[in-house]
Chain A
């Protein structure tokens, strides 16, 4: 018996180490037989309050929360969909394609607006615009740009200052970065001009919003383009050196989404988790410091719509073309 337990323990250590998680937390419940594996691209710190609330409602269920990048999530989940119960990601396009390809289970009678769900399988639970975040020090005495166009002008006005002091997502690596970039490119040609200007000034490429904000705070870079405003806001609470600008020309707004794996055996618990998540997130504006932005859209505001067109830039040919053009502009 003891031998058996050891083998299981070894197996777990091995399987856990086989995958390099950015973060892995286990919130154990009273009953070890009921566990939920949540695959997510959202930092644990943002999700912890939500999971804790879930555990109050369902004390018997333990939750294993696994964090990795959106692109990794897509890869891991497609490889073994039966190993995970809930998938949470900020890459709407990848999530929608998972549903389209039949990896998600339907959840009936979820009370959420039509624009915030797809096929009763994909459920949005946050509204998060992409932002331009600047280090205020770099703009002392200068006009703070409000649009992409103004940002181009600012950069062109003082190229020496901004040389090697710009940052944005490496869209080849980050699923969210790719989503933001493609939606920007779809909306306006300004995107390409901005990329060319940024490319000319030697832009640093990042995997994630967190790293970009770190470098902004430390002054390594002065401007970060297409940063998740939610992450920036969370950080700004402690720091006054940065400023968050939501571009006034056109906003690119993402929604974090959740699906329940179609091959999970914990259907009931997984459904409850998603329902609970939506309940918390649709309650309205809350303190932005600890938790995620709620699923609340002001009249007139729009998000990237959940529709099959999201799969457009996931097409192999389209992606190749887009990345080629992007590299030509920014990597130079």
Chain B
């Protein structure tokens, strides 16, 4: 019954991957933003101090007797003291000419109108932050422009940033892990109703075609309602088919029976040998057709009933006994003896009509293929499990056709001239399988076909 369904990945995996990769992207973005922000704040802190230091130097500049004096306070550099003892470089310029400080320090790059500037550049083998500012002094001799640059290394800054990065990384990772847990949880919660639905579909008996009544999430309503409609339709058409089969069986058999009774009646009245022979073969043809029709219908019925097994406690001995009694007249016509042996009590659970049908087909076959004046041995046993065996003294199953004797409409080589439709063994096999049993066919060592229906 299980057919291979093509899969396109798992919903749970897809959901997890989407959520987790989303979380990863979010964590990285968060890390970058916080770090960028922290860098900016830390850099602003350094800039502010540098700026204050530059200002205090500039403020100290005065023109005295035509020369510039910059008697800046001790605190100008004192404020630049950092945890990691960053290095400090400076330059004081008058109209672009170095007055005091580091000769090779890059000159302040102040554009016109710009009072203050900050730059990050390489100096003295390391990265420094350079703050510059300028001021115009008016002395007795005229205007002069004083500019001051102070550069500071960034050891303390990088350490702060390192610390921040570490903390942010920690937070980011924690955040990410939390989201992973959350997405696992969310996925499970989301997928669960679907799994529950699948489970309840799986657990349903084959004849249970009632609609699903349990509550489902709104997204699943279309699926469940179409499933319900589908099952409703299936239920409907199944009932229809069964009705149709019953109807068809009835309609085909009844006219055939009528035709046969007319033929019988006519046979009584006809005396000419020629005509009698013709009528007899007509009666046989009618019988064959009737039998073929009923076998076809039986097979169709079994196919449907197999899905709707009505299992009841059955007395297997009584069932076979009845069949033997019913078939005894036909056996007698062929001078065949039906040998029936059985255990005291053999019971099983099953569908009585189907089992009857199956066993009857097996005995029919034996009668059909066994020679006249032979014995057919029938047994019902309960060990190891309830089984019915039919053994004849005929030629046995044709060895070369062994594998497909139970397929529909398959007939063996020895079937030429024997009435049949190729459905008998198929019916027996299907019934066995529907009862979780099997049909075992073998040839007896002394010749003769042996069929065992085990349940």
The interface of chain A, by Cβ under 8 A from chain B, is 99-102, 118-119, 186, 305-312, 315-318, 321
Contact = CB atoms under 8 A, between A and B. Distances in A.
A311 B92 contact: no
Interface stretch (B81-89, B174-182, B268-276): B81-89
Contact of B92 (A186, A309, A317): A317
Given A308-B80, A316-B100, A186 B69 contact: no
A317 B87 CA distance: 20
A321 B88 contact: no
B81 A312 contact: no
Contacts of B99: 316-317
Given A308-B77, A312-B76, A318-B70, 18 more contacts: A100-B88, A100-B89, A101-B124, A118-B85, A119-B84, A306-B85, A307-B77, A307-B81, A308-B78, A308-B88, A309-B74, A309-B81, A311-B88, A315-B100, A316-B101, A317-B69, A317-B71, A321-B71
A102 B125 contact: yes
Contact of B100 (A306, A308, A317): A317
A311 to B, nearest CB: 6
Interface of B: 69-78, 80-81, 84-89, 92, 99-101, 124-125
Contact of B74 (A119, A186, A316, A317): A186
B2 to A, nearest CB: 71
11 contacts: A102-B87, A118-B85, A119-B87, A306-B85, A309-B76, A310-B77, A311-B88, A312-B74, A315-B100, A318-B70, A318-B71
Given A102-B124, A309-B75, A317 B81 contact: no
Nearest to A316: B100
B87 A311 contact: no
Contacts, number: 61
A121 B136 CA distance: 39
B164 to A, nearest CB: 23
A100 B69 contact: no
Nearest to A100: B87
Nearest to B57: A315
Interface residue SS majority, chain A: helix
B238 to A, nearest CB: 88
Contacts of B100: 315-318
Contacts of A186: 74
Contacts of A305: 81
Contacts of B85: 118-119, 306-307
A309 B84 CA distance: 15
The 9 closest A-B pairs by CB, nearest first: A309-B78, A309-B77, A316-B100, A308-B88, A307-B81, A119-B85, A308-B77, A317-B100, A100-B87
A312 B72 contact: yes
Nearest to B81: A307
Contacts of A309: 74-78, 80-81
A101 B90 CA distance: 11
A262 B100 CA distance: 25
Contacts of B71: 317-318, 321
Nearest to A311: B77
A186 B71 CA distance: 12
Contacts of B125: 102
Contacts of A308: 77-78, 80-81, 86-88
Contact of A321 (B69, B78, B81): B69
B246 to A, nearest CB: 100
A30 to B, nearest CB: 38
A317 B77 contact: no
A90 B306 CA distance: 110
B440 to A, nearest CB: 88
Contacts of A317: 69-71, 92, 99-100
A102 B153 CA distance: 12
Given A307-B78, A309-B77, A315 B101 contact: yes
Nearest to A96: B85
Contacts of B69: 317, 321
B95 to A, nearest CB: 15
A99 B78 CA distance: 16
A305 B124 CA distance: 24
A146 to B, nearest CB: 26
The CB with the most chain A CB atoms within 10 A, among B81, B84, B99, is that of B81
A307 B80 CA distance: 8
Nearest to A310: B77
A32 B78 CA distance: 45
Contact of A312 (B77, B84, B89, B124): B77
Contacts of B74: 186, 309, 312
Contacts of B78: 307-309
A109 to B, nearest CB: 15
A311 B77 CA distance: 8
Contacts of A311: 77, 88
Nearest to B80: A308
Contacts of B72: 312, 315, 318
Contacts of A306: 85
Contacts of A310: 77
A119 B101 CA distance: 21
Nearest to B92: A317
Nearest to B70: A317
A99 B85 CA distance: 10
Contacts of A321: 69, 71
B82 to A, nearest CB: 9
A118 B77 CA distance: 15
A100 B75 CA distance: 18
A315 B78 CA distance: 14
Nearest to A324: B69
Contacts of A102: 87, 124-125
Contacts of B70: 315, 317-318
A103 to B, nearest CB: 11
Contacts of A99: 87
B85 to A, nearest CB: 4
Contacts of B86: 308
A112 to B, nearest CB: 13
Contacts of B76: 309, 312
B123 to A, nearest CB: 10
A319 B298 CA distance: 124
A186 B100 CA distance: 21
A307 B74 CA distance: 11
